[in-house]
Chains A and B, each alone.
Chain A
Amino acid sequence: MLAYTARRIVYVVPIVISVALVCFLLVHITPGDPLVAVLPADASQELAAQLRAAYGFDRPLPVQFGLWLLRALHGDLGNSIATGRPVLAEVMRAVGNTVTLAIAAAIIGFTMGVLLGLIAGYFRETWIDKVATSFAIAGVSVPHYWLGMLLVIIFSVQLNWLPAVGAGPSGSNSWAWDWAHLKYLVLPAITTSVIPMGIVTRTVRALTGDILSQDFVEALRAKGLRETGVFRHVIKNAAPTALAVMGLQLGYMLGGSILIETVFSWPGSGFLLNSAIFQRDLPLLQGTILILALFFVFLNLLVDIAQAAIDPRIKRG
């Protein structure tokens, strides 16, 4: 197990470096001068050259990448052009809010998904299965930003039960676990939860169906085990794959929250990314994408290791 873990960690190193390279190159596929946001419109040639040298843009690309990577390893992702504050601090503050949202959505989506999937898989080809499967297909097909708008229309505009945008009452600067803040979380969390709900339902349904059709289940029933006992065997066999899918979905929720955060003005990493794009704040854009992608890579690594730890069938040799 230790050897497997070590090997998986070593595999991640080239991926991390390539991810950093992609993030670095993003700025260089950007049309126009990367200095355009800091240079005054009437800047002289000398000033432009001076700034270019100050930012290191006059050096060859591989050197620039090396220097950038070295600074990034020391936790220095540069300063935001718009606010002047360090990028890393800005991103980490926003990521906290995204994690809150993703975890709330995961609790809703995974619980619903596992329940619907188990029921659908157990009652395969009955009307119960059809209802659960329809829910799942609707969940993966719905444009989630539109679902967010619909929920705002129903629960904020029409019923006036829940706030439409923001992450806390006015005057509140940070997140807190009280109702005044929680009611801001309800609609974004439900919106974020539909895709994982659909995917987990489909996965668990397929797993349950497959396991129930295997011979050992027949044997369990033949020896007189009650259905609840059979169910325990099903859950045990389905758990590793289901957990892997959920881990991946958690990663998607962290990295793909930009549309929902924009709809609800939720001050997370996606919202930050959105403003970085439209203010042409390239260091912030680069830093946000890098941090989010690294989160995703490490979450994948954790899922792989956890899966190997709980599933003896995975080859560790």
Chain B
Amino acid sequence: MSELPLSATADAALQAAPATKARGYWATVGRRIMRDKVSMACALVLLLIFLSAILAPWLGLEDPYKGSMIRRLRHIGTVGYPLGTDELGRDMLARLIYGGRLSLVIGILPVILAFCIGTSLGIIAGYVGGKLNTAIMRTVDVFYAFPSVLLAIAISGALGAGILNSIVALTIVFVPQITRVAESVTTGVRNMDFVEAARASGAGAFTIMRVHILGNVLGAIFVYATSLISVSMILAAGLSFLGLGTKPPEPEWGLMLNTLRTAIYVNPWVAALPGAMIFAVSICFNLLSDGLRSAMDIRN
């Protein structure tokens, strides 16, 4: 008699089960991050900056290249120039929004490139092991012997100024870091049973790496890569700030900060604006990356 209510609840539980469909890992992560207010606020800010940069030509802004000698260094809030004008009389609002195009590309592209190269190198080193691992990882160690800022400046200083060179330099800075992370997570899964099973059923090394390893290590590497975007934004703009990246008259936040340095005695707050943009993007990526990391940590 006493068993009846128990089995009744079990039945009820069984019937209720299909209603709440089992979610996949990424769906759970997505749901958790949607609930995090800080992450969502950052995502919103980034979305606004990205959209305005992409849609800049259709926003009815002033020409970001057209200057005027008679309206140089207007203050913030001047009629017609809500964010003032720069040292050549160009509209700051237009230049900040157009500046997002180049700044975001030179900041984010190196991380994407390094993510692809570093993940491949790391997985190969971790899975194949042996001499190949030693060769790849010892090369990586050499780049770790340089502080990243120094390495970035040394490479782009040697290659010479230019957007392409600055992207190459930053990619070289981030590849070793991502390779190291990818190698260590790959080493963690290479001896697991499912990899062994795949090998036993006749899968080749490439198939195992692509199908069985990649899916299991990509998440961890991805989170690490997102945390590098903030550093990359700061460094990319920093190279332009030094005169090693973008060349005038292109609107780009780091370069704008450099050319406006001479104006800090005349119109300091306008001169500081491009830096605020870099800061906003960088802090949003950092917070978003932190949010993603804790959303993926299902144990908590």
Q: B133 on the interface (CB 8 Å rule)? A: no
CB distance from A146 to the nearest CB of B (A): 3
Please state if B238 and A293 are interface contacts (CB–CB under 8 Å): no
CB distance from A4 to the nearest CB of B (A): 19
Which A137-185 residues have a C-beta within 8 angstroms of B?
137-138, 140-147, 149-150, 152-153, 157-158
Known: A30-B160, A142-B279. A256 touches B142 (CB 8 A): no
Please state if B278 and A255 are interface contacts (CB–CB under 8 Å): no
Known: A18-B142, A30-B158, A150-B275. A142 touches B282 (CB 8 A): yes
Contact among B150, B275, B282, B283 for A256, CB-based, below 8 A: B150
CB distance from A65 to the nearest CB of B (A): 15
Contact among B149, B155, B265, B279 for A141, CB-based, below 8 A: B279
Please state if A273 and B268 are interface contacts (CB–CB under 8 Å): no
Please state if B272 and A150 are interface contacts (CB–CB under 8 Å): yes
Q: B286 on the interface (CB 8 Å rule)? A: yes
Residues of A within 8 A of B148 (CB): 252, 256
Please state if B158 and A26 are interface contacts (CB–CB under 8 Å): yes
Residues of A within 8 A of B145 (CB): 15, 18-19, 293, 296-297, 300
Number of interface residues of A (CB under 8 A): 48
Q: B24 on the interface (CB 8 Å rule)? A: no
CB distance from B57 to the nearest CB of A (A): 27
Please state if A157 and B264 are interface contacts (CB–CB under 8 Å): yes
Query: Which B residue sits closest to A294, measured CB to CB?
Result: B145
Please state if B286 and A258 are interface contacts (CB–CB under 8 Å): no
Number of interface residues of B (CB under 8 A): 43
Residues of A within 8 A of B159 (CB): 29-31
Residues of A within 8 A of B268 (CB): 153, 157-158
Q: A289 on the interface (CB 8 Å rule)? A: yes
Q: A262 on the interface (CB 8 Å rule)? A: yes
Residues of A within 8 A of B243 (CB): 278
Q: A274 on the interface (CB 8 Å rule)? A: yes
Please state if A26 and B142 are interface contacts (CB–CB under 8 Å): no
Residues of B within 8 A of A255 (CB): 146-147, 149-150
Residues of B within 8 A of A1 (CB): none
Query: Which B residue sits closest to A277, measured CB to CB?
Result: B157
Residues of A within 8 A of B147 (CB): 251-252, 254-256, 292-293, 296
CB distance from A254 to the nearest CB of B (A): 8
Please state if A141 and B154 are interface contacts (CB–CB under 8 Å): no
Query: Which B residue sits closest to A137, measured CB to CB?
Result: B286
Q: B250 on the interface (CB 8 Å rule)? A: no
Query: Which B residue sits closest to A300, measured CB to CB?
Result: B145
Q: B40 on the interface (CB 8 Å rule)? A: no
Please state if B272 and A153 are interface contacts (CB–CB under 8 Å): yes
Q: A259 on the interface (CB 8 Å rule)? A: yes
Against B, the Cβ 8 Å flags (1 = close, 0 = not) of A234-265 are: 00000000000000000110111011001100
How far is B197's CA from A173's CA once the two chains are assembled, in angstroms? 71
How far is B232's CA from A305's CA once the two chains are assembled, in angstroms? 31
Query: Which B residue sits closest to A25, measured CB to CB?
Result: B158
How far is B171's CA from A311's CA once the two chains are assembled, in angstroms? 36
Residues of B within 8 A of A254 (CB): 147
Query: Which B residue sits closest to A276, measured CB to CB?
Result: B157
CB distance from A3 to the nearest CB of B (A): 22
Residues of A within 8 A of B155 (CB): 26, 29
CB distance from B291 to the nearest CB of A (A): 11
How far is B155's CA from A22's CA once the two chains are assembled, in angstroms? 10
Please state if A149 and B158 are interface contacts (CB–CB under 8 Å): no
CB distance from B126 to the nearest CB of A (A): 21
Residues of B within 8 A of A29 (CB): 155, 158-159
Please state if B149 and A146 are interface contacts (CB–CB under 8 Å): no
Please state if A143 and B279 are interface contacts (CB–CB under 8 Å): yes
How far is B146's CA from A53's CA once the two chains are assembled, in angstroms? 32
How far is B84's CA from A188's CA once the two chains are assembled, in angstroms? 28
Q: B76 on the interface (CB 8 Å rule)? A: no
CB distance from A28 to the nearest CB of B (A): 9
How far is B239's CA from A273's CA once the two chains are assembled, in angstroms? 13
Which B212-260 residues have a C-beta within 8 angstroms of A?
230, 234, 237-238, 241-244, 257
The 6 A-B residue pairs with the shortest CB-CB distance in the complex, in nearest-first order: A146-B275, A256-B149, A255-B147, A141-B283, A277-B157, A153-B268
A–B complex contacts, Cβ < 8 Å, 14 sampled: A18-B142, A137-B283, A141-B234, A141-B279, A144-B234, A149-B261, A153-B268, A256-B147, A259-B149, A262-B241, A274-B242, A285-B154, A289-B150, A292-B150
Q: Which residues of A are in contact with B by a Cβ distance under 8 Å? A: 14-15, 18-19, 22-23, 26-27, 29-31, 137-138, 140-147, 149-150, 152-153, 157-158, 251-252, 254-256, 258-259, 262-263, 273-274, 276-278, 285, 289, 292-293, 296-297, 300
Contacts A149-B264, A259-B241, A277-B157 known; 15 new A-B pairs at CB < 8 A: A23-B154, A137-B283, A138-B283, A141-B230, A142-B283, A143-B275, A146-B275, A149-B257, A152-B264, A157-B264, A273-B157, A274-B242, A277-B242, A293-B146, A300-B145
Q: Which residues of B are in contact with A by a Cβ distance under 8 Å? A: 138, 141-143, 145-150, 153-155, 157-160, 230, 234, 237-238, 241-244, 257, 261, 264-265, 268-269, 271-272, 274-276, 278-279, 282-283, 286-287, 290
